[in-house]
Structure 1
Amino acid sequence: MADYEDEQTRASHFPAEDYAAESMAADMDPWVVFDARKTPRAEFEDWLDTYRPSRVLRQGNPNNNMQPIGWIAVYGPDFTPEAGRVSELQDDWEQLQASSRKIDFDTVRELALNHGVLSGKWLMHLDTGFKVDHAWRQVAACVLEGRAGLAKVSPFSSDSDKHVICVYNCNFTDEEKVMELDAAIRAAGIKCQLSYKPDVYTYLGIYRNNRWHLCPTIYESKFDLECIPRRSRIINKVNNMEVN
């Protein structure tokens, strides 16, 4: 009987739920933040050197009285936090799942619009060490110059040799603005593959390998080194069409 129950539990559990729990834990732990709205720019380079992602420990260090660090972030000079009505969104999400209504991108988009949860981010996954430290410096400078409102990077974790950098904009439903943010990231010197994820997916626990079989990102950007002038080739993953 116990073995049967264990099998049932595994069958009803999806990896996306573990990723969501990890993300929530990181959000709740303290962040290291450079806030360009109130911190002098003269301190920026020293801050970057002090808090290189590859050298900041996610778990902290009890021997040195260092607490866990969730994220390292830069707030731009015009950054204004706008989360929307997240608790109401999640309540309606529970009701949607209990209904017989189909769950797809359009229904989630509708929920996001109804509750003003419209922000999203371009994501990049990079190896620890020089690669992530260098890319983070470029992205953080982009935010400091006001070309993006907020960016964050995960610190080093003993569980992974990868970091994620997130660069935010305020409206995932405005394709033109999403493309403008991609262009700003590319202009900062970033050439790796990018994926774009609406924050509504994060709040609802929609990560890869989720129970609703939704792709957790809605755009994919690959930098075309052979194209003149060089530019991103971006695919809308909802309709599998290239964005021009």
Structure 2
Amino acid sequence: MEEEGPRAQTEGEWPRAQTEGEWPRAQTEGEWPRAQTEGEWPRGQTEGEWPRAQAERGGPRAQAERVGPRAQMERDGPRPGPALVPAESYAAEAMAADMDPWIKFNTRNTPHAEFEAWLENNRPSQVNRYGASGGSNVGWIAVYGPSYCSNTGDVDGLQEDWERLLASGRPVSFATVRELALNHGVLSGKWLIHLDSGFKVDHAWEGIARTVVEGSIPVAKVSPRCPAPEDKHVICVYTHAFTDQDEVVRLEAAIRATGVKCPLSFKPDVYTYLGIYRNNRWKLCPTIYESKFDLESVPRRSHITNKVTGAEVT
């Protein structure tokens, strides 16, 4: 789903998510939420809202309505592994997830005593993306911490300037996208964790969700189980500013402290809002950091690399 993984998320999240995959409301590739009802995910990719510019030009939202994951699966069956999936398809899947209902736990308006039961009843491996026994679709499962605040920036202005940039024929690079993000205050981003369904994703999500409730992580979301066997879950863990490398590193440390050892990748939400996923026409890599955990070092530690510069951060 989100961003840059088998499902493409929502690189919602802050979520919309961030599929290839953002603050959530999914950003699915998820929202950095602007006061939202009961969950406040980023306005641009929140439950049901995809940035206006893309919707008007028949972008991810229009594609989601006509070739979303469910329709595609019913028509074509599971996507073959070797085939390249265009970025537009990832964006459409992410948008479809963002528009569907979310399962949320908001620490600011829900008694803490209810968290354990909520967590047990909503394990990602047991929640079906497309419902079960007549149930409704589920886009994301999300937890909002006590420090979570909604601030998506000017997503509409961002997308309007993006359209002007494309129309001008100027080259598109990380530098130009970063400049757009800074100009419009669209600075949130997310670490992405891709895991197989079952114990691995349930265990990792439990640790991260608890850390969100405790306040060390502002907000996180996880994709529910998809019917396609090759589809993995994606967990999106959000930060306020992808431009603040120290903050990105601190968030990675908080994730590792929960026991997660698998590789991680970091995606700015601006890429999600602009529909930039894997296999995009500008040849941009939609993730700008990667983290690999070294099990051989003493003490064990992770290594973070800046994928734009190639420099090792930690």
Q: State whether TM-score is above 0.5.
A: yes
Could you say which residue in structure 2 is the equivalent of 1:18? 89
Are 2:276 and 1:236 aligned? no
After superposition, give the CA deviation of every residue in 1:4-41 in whole Å (9 maximum; x if it has no partner).
xxxxxxxxx97110000000111111100000111111
Distance in 2, matches of 1:198 and 1:221, equals 15
Could you say which residue in structure 2 is the equivalent of 1:52? 123
Distance in 1, matches of 2:284 and 2:208, equals 28
Q: CA deviation at 1:147?
A: 1.0
Greater per-residue strand proportion? 1
SS in 2 for 1:122: strand
Q: TM-score, normalised by structure 2?
A: 0.71
Distance in 1, matches of 2:231 and 2:154, equals 35
SS in 1 for 2:124: coil
Task: Name which of structure 1's ranges 164-173 and 151-160 shifts more when overlaid on structure 2.
Answer: 151-160
State the structure with more CA Rg: 1
Are 2:250 and 1:180 aligned? yes
Are 2:277 and 1:211 aligned? no
Q: Which amino acid aligns with 2:109?
A: K
Alignment check: 8 A CA contact 1:33 1:74 kept: yes
After superposition, give the CA deviation of every residue in 1:158-194 in whole Å (9 maximum; x if it has no partner).
1244100000000000000000000000011111100
Are 2:172 and 1:109 aligned? no
Stretches of structure 2 lacking an aligned partner (at least 5 in a row): 1-83
Residue 14 and residue 191 in structure 1: after superposition, are their counterparts in 2 closer, same or farther (change >3 A)?
A: closer
Could you say which residue in structure 1 is the equivalent of 2:98? 27
Could you say which residue in structure 2 is the equivalent of 1:165? 235
Distance in 2, matches of 1:106 and 1:229, equals 36
Stretches of structure 1 lacking an aligned partner (at least 5 in a row): 1-12
Distance in 2, matches of 1:230 and 1:88, equals 44
Alignment check: 8 A CA contact 1:197 1:219 kept: yes
Identity %: 65
Q: CA deviation at 1:224?
A: 1.1
What is the CA RMSD across the aligned residues, in angstroms? Answer: 1.3
SS in 2 for 1:243: coil
Alignment check: 8 A CA contact 1:236 1:242 kept: yes
Distance in 1, matches of 2:131 and 2:161, equals 37
Distance in 1, matches of 2:136 and 2:247, equals 37
Could you say which residue in structure 2 is the equivalent of 1:93? 162
Q: Which amino acid aligns with 2:149?
A: T
Q: Which residue of 250, 256, 259 maps to 1:189?
A: 259
Could you say which residue in structure 2 is the equivalent of 1:227? 297
Task: Name which of structure 1's ranges 118-127 and 151-160 shifts more when overlaid on structure 2.
Answer: 151-160
Q: Which amino acid aligns with 2:193?
A: M
Could you say which residue in structure 1 is the equivalent of 2:211? 142
After superposition, give the CA deviation of every residue in 1:38-73 in whole Å (9 maximum; x if it has no partner).
111111111111001011111113x44x21110000
